[in-house]
Structure 1
Amino acid sequence: MTAPREPRARAVWPLVRVLLSTQYAYMLEYRAEIALWALSGVLPLIMLGVWSGSGAGEAAGFTPAMLTRYFLAAFVVRQFTVVWVIHVFEEDNLQGRLSPYLLQPLHPFWRYLAAHVAEQVTRVPFVAALLALLFLLQPSLLWWPQRADVFWGVLATVAAFILRFLLQGVIAMACFWSERALALERLLLIPYLFLSGLVAPLETFPPGVRAFALATPFPYTVAFPARVLMGAEVNLGAGFLGLALWSGLFLILFLVLWRAGIRRYSAMGA
């Protein structure tokens, strides 16, 4: 039973290595643009200044140290859960580049996933530089999580990225039926900003709004990984279960819509 799998695994690993190295080299050509992308993700740091000066955090039970840790953790989580697959998929679909991808034995979305991973690796030094500059300007913000928090926080961040990738992949499937599927992703921007915990901790919301937010996938993309990374009391089992369930749901939707969309696809070369 295990013998056929070993050669298959040995054949897959070179493909993964080549795909990731190629995408990484490609991303290095756009490192200046990636630096701008990293700078565009400083919203949690801006919100840290807003909440620190308002006193509303203390009213919600957040000490200044807790607010600092939360928004710093949210900044890190946000940087490594950025997903833009719908932008490139819509462009590839409209310009006909999807057709030759479909002729290859590799699913096109593995290519997009590799590009995202490569972009995140390229982003690491820029994020580290931003944090170093912040700590240099404000030494009081300096904080380092515990090893266990780092481990579970990184794991939760990776799971949150997968969830966001699958969610945007489902939205990208609308490209098979519409030339403006990107508008659907923009419609999700507002609920993502407010329900994910990016602009405010969910604990500061009214109970009804908080319950509604927790019934959506958005808190698992920022709030849960950030709280794990900052070392707050959190139910790891429930959080990872929620990530798994939402990811499984979006994976099923993606596969169903992909098959239906491919049957509809009629671009030249498909």
Structure 2
Amino acid sequence: MSRVLGAGPIARLRHVIVAWPSILRVAFAGMVAYRAEMIIWVLSATLPLVMLSLWNAAAGGGAIDGWDQTAFTRYFAVNLVVRQLTGSWVVWELNWSIRKGDLSPKLLRPMNPLVFNLAETFAALPFRVVVLLPLVGVLAMWRPEALFLPSPAAAAGFVASSLFAFCLAWLVQALFGMIAFWTEQSMGFWSAWFAVWALFAGYFVPLALFPPSLVALAQVLPFYSTLGAPVDVLLGHAPVASTLAIQAGWLAALGLLTALVWRSGIRRYGAVGA
């Protein structure tokens, strides 16, 4: 293990900050090399457009609990944007690297593999935006009411909430990927999480259509903080301050848990001689 990885937390943080621009350049070059795969991956996350069609058909010319076609259109349009900007693939990469032993050479590098993957995920954002813009353009031509002007406070809250959602989504995937340190069934756990997440994050249906008691519960769970929170903040459906506070709390908790699980997993990984 390198001296950097063996250094104290302050030294490691300083090294990451200094090296971050270089890491992003390397990660961006990797995204360019595999741009075709990246485009396919981005297009696979367009389910909000399917859900928009279904809910618009269900609403018809009327409304469902106060939600008409315009409300559904704006909700799933923002949902699509947030989903594209916060997506990650670390759960698949970690699962594969751990099970196949590919993690070993990565541990010899001066940079923690998790930090480098985070940089890769961040570096992919320009590609996602390039693919996303035509999708939004087509959606706007199909449903012009998808375009709206949010208030400055909602826009600022959306940016902050989306950043939290990006970090939280990555941390959750990293945690499920690290289950591979202990079992080969980590992707099974991830699939189960995704099924629950899709419902309570607001991916399939706006939480506002749930019973009030269930909405109150869902809004404090981590699922909502990774997707539905920034969507509702931009649309004015959720208070900015309390939503950001909940996201910040989950970020602190999941960040600490990720560090602890990684440390424990690496010890186990080394003990079995991978």
TM-score (norm 1): 0.88
Among 150, 167, 188, the alignment partner of 1:145 is 150
**Is there any run of 5+ residues in structure 1 with no aligned partner, and where?**
1-6
Query: Is the 1:74–1:198 contact (alpha carbons within 8 Å) kept by the matching residues of 2?
Result: yes
Query: Is the 1:99–1:268 contact (alpha carbons within 8 Å) kept by the matching residues of 2?
Result: no
Match of 1:80 in 2: 85
Q: Distance in 2 between matches of 1:62 and 1:209?
A: 18
Query: Is the 2:73–2:143 contact (alpha carbons within 8 Å) kept by the matching residues of 1?
Result: no
What does 1:151-166 correspond to in 2, within 5 Å? 151-166=156-171
* Higher alpha-carbon deviation: 216-225 or 9-18: 9-18
Q: Distance in 1 between matches of 2:259 and 2:145?
A: 48
What does 1:174-253 correspond to in 2, within 5 Å? 174-230=179-235, 232-253=236-257
Query: Is the 1:170–1:254 contact (alpha carbons within 8 Å) kept by the matching residues of 2?
Result: yes
Q: Distance in 2 between matches of 1:74 and 1:66?
A: 12
Match of 2:118 in 1: 113
Q: Distance in 2 between matches of 1:200 and 1:78?
A: 14
Among 168, 179, 182, the alignment partner of 2:173 is 168
Q: Distance in 2 between matches of 1:269 and 1:147?
A: 54
CA-to-aligned-CA distance 1:128-176 (integer Å, 9 cap, x gap): 1111122234434333434443332122111011111111222222111
SS at 1:58 equivalent: coil
**Is there any run of 5+ residues in structure 2 with no aligned partner, and where?**
1-10
Q: Which amino acid aligns with 1:214?
A: Q
Match of 1:133 in 2: 138
Q: Decide whether aligned partners of structure 1 residues 139 and 210 sit closer, same or farther in structure 2, where only a CA change above 3 A counts.
A: closer
Q: Decide whether aligned partners of structure 1 residues 13 and 222 sit closer, same or farther in structure 2, where only a CA change above 3 A counts.
A: closer
Task: Point out 4+ residue stretches in structure 1 off by more than 6 angstroms.
Answer: 7-11, 267-270
Match of 2:48 in 1: 44
Q: Distance in 2 between matches of 1:48 and 1:216?
A: 24
TM-score (norm 2): 0.86
